Homo-oligomer: A and B are copies of this chain.
Amino acid sequence: MVNRVTTVDESIRKVVERAISSTGYLPNLAARSLVTRRADAIALVLPHENRIIGDPFFTRVVRGVTGILRPIGVHLVLIMTGPDTGDQVLSDLRQGRLDGVILVHTHQTDQLPGELLRSRRPVVLSARPAEPLPITYVDVNQKAGGAMAAEHLVARGCRYVATITGSLDRPPGHDRLTGFRNAMATMGQPDVVTVEGDFTAESGAAAMEQLIQQYPEVDGVFIASDLMAQGALPVLRKHGRSVPDDVAVVGFDDSNAALNCDPPLTTVRQPVEDMAAEMARQLLRQVERSDTPIRAVIFEPVLVVRQSA
C-alpha cells in the first residue's frame, strides 16, 4: 500500500500519506529486495588501466548511464577489473546484489562476457565483441567514422595521406582502419601508409615519429584516437611541421583531449552519452524480462571540424 495501489479510498490514503511524510518513513529496501528479487543496482565494469577511467570518454559513459538509472532509483556500482573481478561480479549477481552488468571496453581475452552469458545474466557490451558472441552490444559505426576522416582529408586536398591506428587486435582499432582504407581506395588511393599505435598518447607520439621518418612527404593523417593525436601533435611541431598547413590531422572520439590539443582537433565524434544511455536501457530491459532478444545497436558518428584539418 506504500506503493502505488489504486484500490484504496482517497480519504484513508491521505491520512496514511500524511503520517508517512510526518514520520519520515521510508521502506527498507533490503526487505523489499528480499521478496522482489531485485537489487536495483547494476554494475559498470571497466578495465583497470589508468587511462580508461581517467579518460573523458568514461565521464560521458557515466553521464549517459546515470541519466537513465537515476530517475528510476537504480544504483550504479563501479567496478574496475582486477584478477578476480569475474568471480566477484558473478557472485554479486547470484547473491542478488546486482541485477546486471555493463561491460565497457572489455578485452577480447576476458572470459567474463562468456561466463555471464552462460549464467544467463543481463549483460551489455560497449562495443562489438572480438569473437562473435550471442550478446547484446551498443557500438558506433566505426567504419563509417574512418571513412568520414578519409573523405575530409581528401576533400581538403591532402595528397599524401597516412594513418595511425589503434590496437588492431581490438575491434574499434580494426574497424576504423578498415573504414578508412576502404574509403581511400574508393577515392583512388588504395595504398595508405599505416603505423599501429595502442590508443595511448605515448604510442601516438612514437607512431608519429616513425611515420615522419618513413613517409616525410605526408600531408594528412587520420589518427584513430584523440589521445594518440594529442601525443602526436608535439612530435609534428618538433619536426617543424605546422598543423594543419603542412600536415592536416583528424582524430577520433571528440574527447576533451581534442579541445586541449594545439591546435584544437578536427575529429570524429561518437555520441557516447546516447550510446551509454542505450546500454542502460538495453540492460534494464533484460533485467525486466530475461527472454529479451539479443540486439546490436549502432550509432552514427559525426565529423566535428576544428582547426587541425
User: Which residues of chain B have C-beta atoms less than 8 A from A256's C-beta?
Assistant: 50-51, 54
Interface size on A, residues (CB 8 A): 54
Contact A77 B75, beta carbon cutoff 8 Å:
yes
A230-254 residues with Cβ-Cβ distance < 8 A to B are: 230-231, 234, 237
**C-beta contact mask, A66-107 vs B, less than 8 Å → 1, else 0?**
100010010111111010000010011011110000000000
Annotate A22-47 by CB proximity to B: 1 below 8 A, 0 otherwise.
Answer: 00101111110110000111001000
A53 within 8 A of B: yes
A174: CB under 8 A from chain B? no
Which residues in window 247-279 of A have CB below 8 A to B? Answer: 255-257, 259-260, 262
Which of A41, A59, A88, A91: most chain B CB closer than 10 A? A59
Partner of A95, one of B28, B39, B96: B28
**Chain B residues closer than 8 Å to A57, beta-carbon distance:** 54
With a cutoff of 8 Å between Cβ atoms, the chain B residues found around residue A73 in the complex are 88
Whether A30 and B262, one on each chain, are in contact in the complex, defined by CB atoms closer than 8 angstroms, is no
- Cβ-based interface call for A299 (8 A): no
Task: Say yes or no for A63: interface residue by CB 8 A criterion.
Answer: yes
Residues of B within 8 A of A70 (CB): 82, 88
Q: Are B50 and A59 in contact (CB under 8 A)?
A: yes
Say which residue of B44, B53, B60, B262 sits within 8 Å of A58 (CB atoms): B53
28 contacts between A and B (CB under 8 A): A28-B95, A28-B96, A29-B97, A30-B31, A30-B96, A33-B33, A41-B41, A44-B78, A48-B63, A50-B56, A50-B59, A53-B58, A53-B63, A54-B56, A54-B58, A54-B256, A62-B80, A66-B78, A73-B88, A75-B75, A75-B77, A75-B92, A78-B78, A201-B259, A230-B260, A231-B260, A237-B262, A260-B260
Measured CB to CB, the residues of A under 8 A from B are 24, 26-31, 33-34, 39-41, 44, 48, 50-51, 53-60, 62-63, 66, 70, 73, 75-80, 82, 88, 91-92, 94-97, 201, 230-231, 234, 237, 255-257, 259-260, 262
